Amino acid sequence: MTAADDAAELAPAQVAGPVLSVRQVDAYHAMAVVAPRIARGFRPGQFVAVAVGGPDTSMLLRRAFSIHDVRADHGGTVEFVFAARGPGTRWLADRRPRDVIDITGPLGRPFPLPRDCVSCLLIGGGYGSAPLFPLAGKLRARGCPVDFLLGAASADRVFGSLTARRTGRSATITTEDGSLGVRGMVTDALARVIHESRTDVIYACGPMPMLRAVTGFADRYEIPVFASVEESMACGIGVCMTCVLPVTGDDGVTRMVRSCVDGPVFRGQAVRWDDVGTIPFDALGAPGWRPPEPADPPQAQPDAQDGRRHAG
């Protein structure tokens, strides 16, 4: 296979995939779709964009879901997890095996994998933990210890707690109502887990307030965070600009970047969490933005000999 063939295999594909299964997992639904092209190109952290409502629907916008699992059996399947909240996701929840859906993927940038064997803490909020499990498999294959910290409002909204306990070196569960694990938020248990697991890097996915809090907490320990953001996406391919957020680049310049193509995984410390939902005044291209003034070249200073000569 040539390099061009490899690139084609990794490129996103739009397919009409038959539904293999739809199962309810506590408060959520998990749908498996036969889509071998998407399964072959998938890397942990990427997502799919699914058309909902059928061919005659007024629901024009696709729904974006993180990929939870891919399997080579059954012809190559892709599984994603969702909550049936609005008309689009309720329509998905009503699908049955052999129904055909329009699905595009894999989309977005994946989680970066460490080059060295480091201790990895995977933090998930609600069904945001879904993309962390294929990531955990890749990390373990590299010899990295993996610890889980999962949280949600209640026990039925924690996704993957049994899998985390079975596959992780450790698994800590928090719920706001105390119905499972420790009562509280994930940040309430974060300091203890970091100390006990000697965390080197954090991977996180969940609601934006959780990602903001985790990143701020990790800064105290100088631990890098890679966060998969949950910004609303309409097209999933970078056209509509509805999922932009402010991110500071290595050059120190803040840019409004698209979560769907520049993310959804970002370095947590680069995201300007307090400014999400706005265009900061100092972002590149913002009204009134001006490029920084170039620094003046240092002036040559007379050396001591010159000083003495002029003084005499």
Tens digit of pLDDT at every position of the chain (312 positions): 554 555 556 689 999 999 999 999 999 999 999 999 999 999 999 999 999 998 888 888 899 999 999 998 778 999 999 999 999 999 999 999 999 999 999 999 999 999 999 999 999 999 999 999 999 999 999 999 999 999 999 999 999 999 999 999 999 999 999 999 999 999 999 999 999 999 999 999 999 999 999 999 999 999 999 999 988 888 888 888 889 999 999 999 999 999 999 999 999 999 999 999 999 988 998 887 777 666 666 665 555 444 443 333
> Which part of the chain is CATH 2.40.30.10?
12-107
- CA-to-CA dists, residue 18 to 70, 73, 95, 99, angstroms: 15, 14, 10, 5
Beta-sheet strand order (sheet of 225-228): 182-183, 170-175, 146-152, 120-125, 201-205, 225-228, 265-267
Compute the CA torsion angle 231, 151, 204, 168 (nearest 10 deg): -150
- Burial of 252-270, coded b for 16+ CB within 10 Å and e otherwise, reads eebebbbbbbbbbbbebbb
pLDDT of residue 237: 86
Which of the following CATH numbers is that of domain 111-229: 1.10.10.10, 3.30.565.10, 3.20.20.10, 3.40.50.80? 3.40.50.80
Question: Residue 232 and residue 87: Cα distance in Å, rounded?
Answer: 16
6: left (phi over 0), alpha (psi -120 to 50) or beta: alpha
pLDDT of residue 231: 84
Question: Residue 282 and residue 287: Cα distance in Å, rounded?
Answer: 9
**How many of the other CB atoms lie within 10 Å of CB of 32?**
21
CATH, domain range 12-107: 2.40.30.10
Question: Residue 67 and residue 304: Cα distance in Å, rounded?
Answer: 68
> Which part of the chain is CATH 3.40.50.80?
111-229
pLDDT of residue 296: 61
47, two tokens: 């997502």
Q: Is the peptide bond before 287 cis (omega within 30 degrees of 0)?
A: no
